[in-house]
């Protein structure tokens, strides 16, 4: 599914961190606008400790084994991990399979540093591990 680059330019302003990367604020705004699906590619224990509310879990190791990525209603896929390294790998992996996505520069660490919400598995305030 192609990423709507025109929408990214108009509404998210492509990140200064490079092509295919967005800032945490841009990702959050796109999720809130219902134009993006957030997909967290960390492991379950990391996700349960603290994740972006509404994010779907699709660990990178499962994606490399051929598992399908959760795709929601034609929305842009925005991938997250702890620092941005695994999500970049996932973007490349998905591209090889014909699915376009962008990743969040700085990952969940940058997300939390910018004061965006982080929730644990029970919906309480979470932490990024």
Residues with catalytic function: 81
- State CA 42 to chain mean position distance: 10
The four Cα atoms 28, 43, 77, 106 give a dihedral, to 10 degrees, of 50
Distance between CA 24 and CA 82 in Å, rounded? 12
């Amino acid at each position: 599914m192609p990423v709507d680059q025109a929408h990214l330019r108009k509404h998210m302003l492509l990140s200064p961190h490079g092509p295919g990367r967005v800032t945490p604020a841009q990702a959050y705004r796109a999720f809130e606008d219902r134009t993006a699906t957030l997909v967290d590619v960390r492991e379950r224990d990391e996700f349960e400790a603290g994740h972006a509310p509404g994010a779907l879990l699709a660990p990178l190791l499962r994606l490399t084994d051929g598992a399908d990525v959760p795709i929601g209603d034609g929305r842009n896929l925005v991938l997250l991990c702890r620092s941005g390294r695994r999500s970049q790998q996932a973007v490349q992996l998905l591209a090889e399979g014909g699915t376009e996505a962008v990743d969040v520069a700085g990952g969940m660490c940058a997300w939390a540093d910018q004061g965006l919400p982080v929730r644990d598995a029970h919906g309480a305030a979470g932490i990024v591990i």
